[in-house]
């Protein structure tokens, strides 16, 4: 069995991160991934879509065992307690993915504050809810809140410059996402084979782990990430297409049917390319 520093750091069986993949719900996928021995991440951005994308919001609420009239802290409370209930007997480890772009900074603070409170009120949850994964924004300024509460902090970046910013901020696990990656795609087409070893060389040390993202989807590509110096790999699209995924069947079938030229890149809603 392949193990790495990532496994030792957060107590997972395999050095794999199941990506957050918002704004759609992945509350069921996160449970299944955690129980399978990888890090399961819950997307939280769907909670902010009540007015602009009510169908996304309703799906998130339903799979969180929450109610549509719950405020954000109450909904976070319910989804975390649900996830903990469903993974604790199997030793699953999970976290939340929180977008910290300027457009969502206020909501991010509400979500992270609520997550900290829920975990503090439920001490055994600390054995399972171990990670806050931030994305789509600047990590600087979040260290005291996240690491001060005892979480392992992960952040995704599309460049060496972004990785150095994470290093400055005190991020524990830096996820280098090449141009193949969904949503967190750089404007510059720097692909995983170039980006990952460059980030490893720039920031990896005894205190800072690096994982690869973008194109990693099976045992072969996981082995490639490790050979390139990474401590693990994040996989998004591969998990999106699984039976346990919350995504619509049409989307799953489109992913499976897509060929080597099937990727589309467009502008995302936080002013960055989205694959």
Query: Any alpha helices (H) in 26-104, and if so which ranges?
Result: 27-35, 54-63, 72-87
Question: Which of 270, 235, 245 has the alpha carbon at shortest distance from 107?
Answer: 270
Q: Count CB-CB contacts under 10 A for residue 73.
A: 16
CB 67 within 8 Å of CB 12: no
Question: Which of 15, 9, 19 has the alpha carbon at shortest distance from 37?
Answer: 15
Tell me the C-alpha distance between 70 and 61, whole Å: 9
Q: What is the pLDDT along the chain (275 residues), one digit of tens a residue?
A: 688 999 999 999 999 999 887 777 888 999 999 999 999 999 888 787 777 777 778 888 888 888 888 888 898 999 999 999 999 999 999 999 998 887 878 888 999 999 999 999 999 999 999 999 998 888 988 899 999 999 999 999 988 999 999 999 999 999 999 877 776 666 778 788 899 999 999 999 999 999 999 888 788 999 999 999 999 999 887 777 777 777 766 766 666 677 666 666 665 555 454 43
Tell me the C-alpha distance between 261 and 118, whole Å: 44
Q: At which residue do the structure tokens 């902010």 appear?
A: 48
| CB-neighbour burial class of residue 271 (10 A; exposed 0-12, middle 13-18, buried 19+) | exposed
CB 19 within 8 Å of CB 40: no
102: its two tokens: 């300027």
Q: Considering Cα of 43, then 49, then 52, then 54, what sign does the dihedral take?
A: positive
* Cis geometry, peptide bond prior to residue 198 (ω within 30 degrees of 0): no
CB 136 within 8 Å of CB 270: yes
Map out the domains of the chain with their CATH numbers. Answer: 5-274 (3.20.20.70)
| 223, 154, 137, 229 alpha-carbon torsion, rounded to 10° | -30
Paired sense of beta strands 273-274 and 266-267, if any: antiparallel
Model-wide pTM > 0.85: yes
Question: Which of 97, 37, 47 has the alpha carbon at shortest distance from 67?
Answer: 47
Tell me the C-alpha distance between 197 and 207, whole Å: 17
């Amino acid at each position: 069995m392949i193990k790495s520093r990532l496994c030792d750091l957060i107590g997972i069986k395999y050095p794999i991160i199941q990506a957050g993949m918002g704004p759609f719900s992945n509350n069921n996928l996160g449970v299944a991934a955690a129980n399978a021995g990888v890090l399961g991440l819950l997307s939280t951005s769907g909670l902010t879509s009540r007015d602009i994308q009510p169908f996304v919001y309703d799906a998130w609420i339903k799979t969180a065992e929450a109610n549509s009239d719950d405020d954000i802290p109450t909904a976070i409370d319910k989804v975390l307690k649900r996830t903990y209930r469903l993974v604790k007997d199997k030793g699953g480890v999970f976290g939340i993915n929180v977008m910290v772009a300027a457009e969502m900074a206020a909501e991010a603070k509400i979500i992270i504050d609520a997550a900290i409170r829920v975990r503090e009120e439920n001490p055994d949850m600390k054995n399972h809810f171990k990670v806050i994964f931030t994305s789509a924004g600047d990590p600087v300024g979040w260290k005291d809140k996240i690491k001060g509460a005892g979480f392992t902090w992960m952040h995704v970046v599309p460049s060496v410059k972004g990785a150095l910013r994470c290093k400055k901020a005190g991020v524990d696990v830096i996820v280098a996402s090449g141009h193949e990656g969904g949503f967190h795609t750089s404007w510059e087409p720097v692909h995983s084979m170039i980006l990952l070893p460059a980030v490893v060389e720039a920031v990896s040390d005894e205190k800072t782990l690096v994982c690869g993202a973008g194109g990693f989807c099976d045992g072969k590509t996981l082995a490639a990430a490790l050979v390139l110096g990474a401590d693990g790999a994040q996989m998004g699209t591969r998990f999106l297409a699984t039976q346990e995924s919350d995504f619509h069947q049409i989307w799953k079938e489109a992913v499976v049917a897509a060929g080597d030229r099937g990727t589309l890149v467009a502008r995302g809603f936080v002013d960055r390319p989205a694959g």
